[in-house]
Every structure is written in structure tokens, then in C-alpha cells.
Amino acid sequence: MLKKQIIMFGAPGAGKGTQAKILAGKLNVPHISTGDILRNAVAQKTELGLKAKEIMEKGELVPDEIMVGIVKNVLFSDSCKEGYILDGFPRTLNQAKLLDEIIEQLNNGYPVIIKLLVDDEVIIQRLSMRRVCKVCGTIVNLNQIENPNKCPNCGAENSFVKRDDDKEEVIRRRLRVYHETTQPVLEYYKNKTEIIVVDGAQPVDNVTENILKKLDHSAG
């Protein structure tokens, strides 16, 4: 039986979100993106969501304790009874240690780590070509669509804009932060659980296939 408690790891632009969504569909478990659940908590005006909103409006980072509280609420919900795919969390050693306490309380077994390995220069090239349709919000890579001047989702022409966080100097800074803060988290997990490493530079379908093969092997 395939492991259904999964933590996705990888640098910004490595394809974590894409693979997490695909795997969630194939394994029939929820894809938990911390960015999404934070926005949901704010929208639903939960106690933690309101605290997070106040902090974000000041332009400050949401503290680990609040993020962990929000993640805990989701992991303990009925939707996660059969498993989950965590994407974007934990990002720091402190978050990993706090998550350990939740995993212990859940008593569902320890999640397996899937690390998508992509060279920094490939990520920079990939993200530099990323654009957002200002009409419908669809995110595309200009190298992967037929007409770079037309949105494949809504058909709007010349509607693509480049996000500030997809500019090269910002991407390099984000990668530096990732290597400094998130890499130690992987070291922390080395003695705790299995880490499945997959080449994330391959086409999307190949990456998914490799992940599922390795998960199957791991289950066997």
C-alpha cells in the first residue's frame, strides 16, 4: 500500500505545488498548501486566521506557532483521515520540531519526504519564463504554451505579466534563503524517515511517474 502521508520538499520553482496537486488526485488525499490554508483561515476569520491577518497587514512574517496551529487544525480535520500531502511546510527546523508533536498526536505513522532536485540555474530559467494572465490569473511558462501572446485558459491576448518574485534577482535571493533555512530541515529528517529524491527537471509526467514508482518501492 502506497504511503499517503507525504511532505514535499524542493526549492521555489522545483515543481512542488504541481506534483502535490497531481499526487493528491492519484492518492485521493488532500493537498495542503500552507499558502492556501493561511488564506483560507484569514477568509474564514478563524481565531488564528485573524491573528495572521493582523501580522501580515503589518508586513511581518507569520510566526511559526500560528502557522503550526493552522496546519494542526487541517491535519486533524476529517479530510486528512486517510492521509495528506504537505506542500511548503515545514520550512525551518523549528517548524519541523513543532510538526513532530502534531505527527505524534495524529498517530498515523511518520510521513515520507519527497525531495524534488532541480539545479538552481534550471529553476532561474524556468521561473524567468513564468507569466500570469492578468485577466484570469492562470500561470503559464512561455516555453510550454503554443502562443506566448494568448492565454490558453481564457483566450485573452497580450495579458501576461511577470510577477515581481519571478525576477532573476528575487529568484536568486529566494533560492539562497531556501538553501540556508530549508536544507537543514532535510538533515533533521534523515534519521527520522525515508527521503525519496526525484529529478524534478524532467517533464511533469515523468516526475510523477518516478515519484509513484519510488513510493511503491518504498511501500513494498
| Residue 127 maps to a domain | no
Q: Just list the catalytic residues.
A: 16, 91, 130, 163, 174
**Which of 16, 37, 206 has its CA nearest to residue 114?**
16
> Could you write out the three-class secondary structure of the chain?
CCCCEEEEECCCCCCHHHHHHHHHHHHCCCEEEHHHHHHHHHHCCCHHHHHHHHHHHCCCCCCHHHHHHHHHHHHCCHHHCCCEEEECCCCCHHHHHHHHHHHHHHCCCCCEEEEEECCHHHHHHHHHCEEEECCCCCEEEHHHCCCCCECCCCCCECCEECCHHHCHHHHHHHHHHHHHHCHHHHHHHHCCCCEEEEECCCCHHHHHHHHHHHHHHHHC
| Residue 190 maps to a domain | yes
| Residue 126 maps to a domain | no
The pTM assigned to this predicted structure is: 0.82
**Which pLDDT does position 34 carry in this prediction?**
81
| Residue 41 maps to a domain | yes
Q: In angstroms, rounded to a whole number, what is the distance separating the alpha carbons of residues 64 and 90? A: 9
Q: Which three cell numbers stand for residue 185?
A: 530541515
Structural domain harbouring 94: 5-119+183-215
| Residue 57 maps to a domain | yes
**Which pLDDT does position 6 carry in this prediction?**
96
* pLDDT by residue, tens only, the chain of 220 residues: 567 999 999 998 899 989 999 999 999 999 998 878 888 888 888 888 888 888 877 767 788 888 888 899 899 999 998 999 999 889 889 999 999 999 999 988 899 999 999 999 999 998 899 999 999 988 898 988 999 999 999 999 999 999 887 888 888 988 998 888 888 899 999 989 999 999 999 999 999 999 999 998 876 5
Bridge partners of residue 124, in order along the sequence: none
**Which pLDDT does position 212 carry in this prediction?**
95
Q: In angstroms, rounded to a whole number, what is the distance separating the alpha carbons of residues 49 and 57? A: 12
| Residue 176 maps to a domain | no
| Residue 193 maps to a domain | yes
**Which pLDDT does position 70 carry in this prediction?**
85
**Which pLDDT does position 114 carry in this prediction?**
96
Count structural domains, the chain.
1
| Residue 159 maps to a domain | no
Q: Residue 11 sits in a domain of what CATH number?
A: 3.40.50.300
